[in-house]
Structure 1
Amino acid sequence: MQEPSKTVLRLTALPARRPTEFTLEPDQAARRKLARELELTELSKLRFSGTLRPVGRNDWQLDGTLGATVEQPCGVTLAPVRTRIDETVRRRYSDSYTAPDETEAEVPEDDTLEPLPETVDLNAVMAEALTLAVPAFPRAPGAELGAQVFAPEGVEPLTEEKVKPFAALADLKKKLGNGDDTGNGGAA
């Protein structure tokens, strides 16, 4: 007989009247594997702890905290950027929840609500929460994406200032050059 997993919890086997506490601190090998999956340079610390408690007759709620230290390349310079992540994690598993069938559906207001599963995989919840918390475009201190301006020889380059909606109106006003700020073109 296989020993039950400490990270995959069968909800029917948990106490129905009190919370079940959990703490996950993956070892170095597990952190390296997760770092590769998330395209991180390093995942030096990772801790996920909290409780899974029954709510009402059939529903469950997971409340936890995720702490991690990640390193990833700067989106501009590729220099290493270390980020400390401290996130609150909440999942509500409801027996009455049904996912929309349409291919295009509105996102529900409560993004913590999920269908009631038979088991809750704490490793999967931790990995999902970390994935959502990792910065999408990390920046090293002082790293800026400079403006690049290109144009064929003899042509004035198109800059961001010229693309702005009122830049053309300002140019037109300058061309008219009547100095009248009333907007009536100098007519009396």
Structure 2
Amino acid sequence: MKHSDPRSPVSFVANVGRLPQKGLPVVIETDVAQRAALAEEHELLSVEKYRADLLVAPWKRNGVKVTGRVEADITQACIVTLDPVEAHIDEEIEALFLPEASKLGRQGFEGGGEILLDADGPDSPETFSGDTIDVGALAEQFFGLAIDPYPRKQGASVEAKDEAGSAENEFQQKLRSLLGKT
């Protein structure tokens, strides 16, 4: 993944200073330019569809909980043949945030308290400063994690043979058949 621009192509900054009790619904649907930027950022051939449905809600006293899902249709290059491979992403999003100034937020970074981590449980809360959180960038993080790092076209396999030699032999055989020689 490239990180030339720190701002996400699907950035959506939510004001969490005064959230409604039921939460703030956020829907992010991309245009052509945003999908092209996502494809470049994540080294994909293309992003045909991208949509994030989120709910930004109050959590505990001063925290924020972001839930929802990100869905996308993408095309990647097969790692064996470089042919296009289509994939559908449907990833659930759940994240907790605490203000940096909160007691729990300070304990995690200053060692003032003990944090118990459960490998199967939810992630520990992240901290934020000010009264905004970029929920679009959060959705993009979940999108990026859901992309198959080794996409393969159905039936494509890496053979144990010397690939350079076998490719050269195959090329020579095709050339001979085109020239009418056996």
TM-score by length of 1: 0.67
Which structure has the bigger radius of gyration?
A: 1
Measure the CA separation in 2 of the matches of 1:112 and 1:147: 43
Which of 118, 125, 137 does residue 150 from structure 2 map onto? 137
Map of 1:35-50 to 2, 5 A cutoff?
A: 35-50=39-54
Residues 1:71 and 2:75 are matched in the alignment:
yes
For 2:160, the aligned partner's letter is A
Measure the CA separation in 1 of the matches of 2:44 and 2:31: 16
Measure the CA separation in 2 of the matches of 1:123 and 1:22: 9
Structure 1 residue runs without a partner (length 5+):
1-5, 151-188
8 Å CA contact 1:85–1:134 kept in 2: the answer is yes
Pairwise CA distance, 1:75:
0.7
More helix by share: 2
SS of match in other structure, 1:12: coil
Number of the residue aligned with 1:61: 65
8 Å CA contact 2:117–2:124 kept in 1: the answer is no
Map of 1:152-167 to 2, 5 A cutoff?
A: none
Alpha-carbon RMSD across the aligned residues, in angstroms, is 2.6
Moved over 3 A (4+): 97-102, 107-110
Measure the CA separation in 1 of the matches of 2:150 and 2:80: 9
SS of match in other structure, 2:40: helix
8 Å CA contact 1:11–1:120 kept in 2: the answer is yes
Measure the CA separation in 2 of the matches of 1:66 and 1:112: 21
Q: 1:24-78: CA deviations, max 9, x gaps?
A: 0011111101111111100000000020110121111000111000101001110
Which of 7, 13, 19 does residue 8 from structure 1 map onto? 13
Measure the CA separation in 2 of the matches of 1:127 and 1:47: 10
Percent identity at matched positions? 29
Q: How many residues align?
A: 141
RCO comparison, higher one (Cα < 8 Å, 6+): 2
Pairwise CA distance, 1:126:
1.9
8 Å CA contact 1:59–1:116 kept in 2: the answer is no
Relative to structure 1, the CA distance from residue 50 to residue 39 in structure 2 (aligned partners, 3 Å threshold; closer, same or farther) is same
SS of match in other structure, 1:13: coil
TM-score by length of 2: 0.69
